[in-house]
Chain A
């Protein structure tokens, strides 16, 4: 990683050479006429609006969350209950996100474990294996997969996929039930595992598309170097494509993770939630941040909504970190490959 990254910006807009005062700045950008000034103000204002919206999202969520947290009798991070109305605690609000953290992480990990290898496979299929005439239609199919709304995924997951999983779950229970993780007591298969499978299908397109882009960027000369040594197609991929694409795959997976963490309605449709942490991923139960908000919202009081907002704030921060990190990796990669290309 000791490639110099401070490459100069492309010289397309050189007119902007270190202006000092605002007047000079304006002159340098050609914004001296009223029309230009208004237009610049409008467009820059829009950019600033976008930043303000992001700040406002954080601020308002934090404000309402603080209202809820001030009266919470439970520990927000470690309490295993969700009882903002205090029905079980003499009217005192008692809630925490431990169960949601667990369920969100488990379902997202299952989704990643399934989706990443499949997505890399499909990306390689499009970039290196498919007959050239097939590559474009396949990429289109993947885009269609991305265009299906999550509620339709939910409906399909609950009414088509889940009923088909009982057999597989019983089989897993027979052979791997002893681990505890794959214990299955035979209820409706609306479990974190089912959610994970569905999420995997939903995040497949984004991981595939980002990885495919990276694989297509691998310089021909690196692939030819391997080929000329007498490498088979797989060896070419192992020697030159995968090492070059590693950071791209990582950031693609993180973008997928961000999606999986925040997916709401498909999870709410498929999961039979219970507010407990259990070892088995095959038995129904558990919950995720987003699903909990959607499921509890309509019956919640105003205070209950603030409690849900508090959990939403945590989700916001987590997805922000995951997506931010993914974008930083991509940005660094761009400079890296630019220096080499």
Chain B
């Protein structure tokens, strides 16, 4: 390569070096110009070679950008700086690579989803609609999802909260260590495995029918570790002085936890629960195994198959008809909107109720 002597030799370009501290540098605007240039050339190549997908245009532009910046920098600034620039441009490209799918996903869902998304779609079921005819809606699926998620919360939130309280307020020793470890491991259980578990004991062994309740049990297994983790984090943020102040007043420990510790952390705990709800509301696999499906409105989660929003998307997609695709996108839009709203509200609560002592 170029300048690799012991002493820095100033500019390698041959211009008179006024000081050994200075170094020839690419102008500040160089990266932008290179970026625009590579985009133009990339698109040009894409057009000329008749490449069908914009993805390839983008990839060619990205490679051009990284390569051109590297070689320009190497010739003007030297190898070390070129490597630095290479790393910088790679990191930028990586970041853009992550933004592209999210942008595309949201754009496509909104664009294709709004086609049949209206009041009728939200307020009607699929009861008498054939796969290939337009019409129908997600009313039954919304009901099913809300009930299943609600029941899952009823199981998972108390167990999750109490487990977190145990770990933070009481837990020492082997049992607590085991619980901590398995909570972590439990977050990694594939949702389909949770579904298979409930299937094996509730439906195959105990002989019950498919129902919203069966789905809710599987969802609660997925929800528990998330609730435990987030609650634990929040309880740990509650300063010990608060507990001691209460205990010193002669308040029993359990009342201290209920009246002092939990209220202090309630904002963060709510956020955690809402994020957990957002996670399970989009789960399809266990619902597929346990709730079966039902195009009609079934408001009783304990009796017979129900609908569910994620499952609805899967089935409308699987029908392979254009009407089905339209409904799938519209339902996906509804589901994403629901989950994003949950996420935003949860974060809003977190910011609003953030413990002042945190951080």
Question: Could you tell me which A residues sit within 8 Å of B by CB distance?
Answer: 9, 12-13, 16, 29-31, 33, 35-36, 38-40, 42-51, 53-54, 56-57, 60-61, 63-64, 117-118, 120-122, 124-125, 129-130, 138, 141-145, 147-156, 158-160, 164-168, 171, 201, 204, 208, 232-235, 237, 255, 258-259, 261-265, 268-269, 290, 293-294, 297-298, 302, 305-306, 308-309, 312, 315-316, 319-320, 322-324, 326-327
**B197 and A60: CB pair below 8 A?**
yes
Determine if A264 and B84 form an interchain contact, defined as CB atoms under 8 angstroms apart. no
Question: 1/0 per position for B113-155, CB-CB distance to A under 8 A?
Answer: 0000000000000000000000000000000000000000000
Are A57 and B189 in contact, with the CB atoms below 8 A? yes
Given A42-B162, A234-B84, A265-B314, A53:B200 Cβ within 8 A: no
Q: Which DSSP category, helix, strand, loop or mixed, fits chain B's interface?
A: helix
**Chain A residues within 8 Å of B201, by CB:** 56, 60
Q: Are B254 and A36 in contact (CB under 8 A)?
A: yes
Q: Smallest distance from the beta carbon of B132 to chain A beta carbons, Å? A: 17
Contact (A323, B88) CB under 8 Å given A149-B335, A265-B310, A312-B193: no
Cross-chain contact B167 with A290 (CB below 8 angstroms): no
Known contacts A47-B171, A147-B339; 12 additional CB pairs below 8 A are A39-B254, A49-B159, A50-B228, A141-B102, A144-B340, A147-B279, A155-B332, A164-B52, A233-B87, A234-B86, A294-B288, A309-B196
Q: With A30-B253, A60-B201 known to touch, is A46 a contact of B163 (CB < 8 Å)?
A: yes
Partner among B105, B190, B247, B289 whose Cβ is within 8 Å of the Cβ of A156 = B105
Could you give 15 example pairs across A and B, Cβ below 8 Å? A16-B172, A43-B162, A46-B160, A122-B94, A122-B95, A125-B95, A129-B88, A232-B81, A233-B88, A265-B284, A265-B285, A290-B192, A293-B196, A320-B189, A326-B188
A234 pairs with B87, CB closer than 8 A: yes
B53 within 8 A of A: yes
The interface of chain B, by Cβ under 8 A from chain A, is 51-56, 80-81, 83-84, 86-88, 90-95, 97-99, 101-102, 104-105, 108-109, 158-163, 165-167, 169-172, 175-176, 178-179, 181-194, 196-197, 199-201, 204-205, 221, 224-225, 228, 240, 247, 252-255, 257-258, 278-279, 281-285, 288-289, 310, 313-314, 317, 325, 328-329, 332, 335-336, 339-340, 343
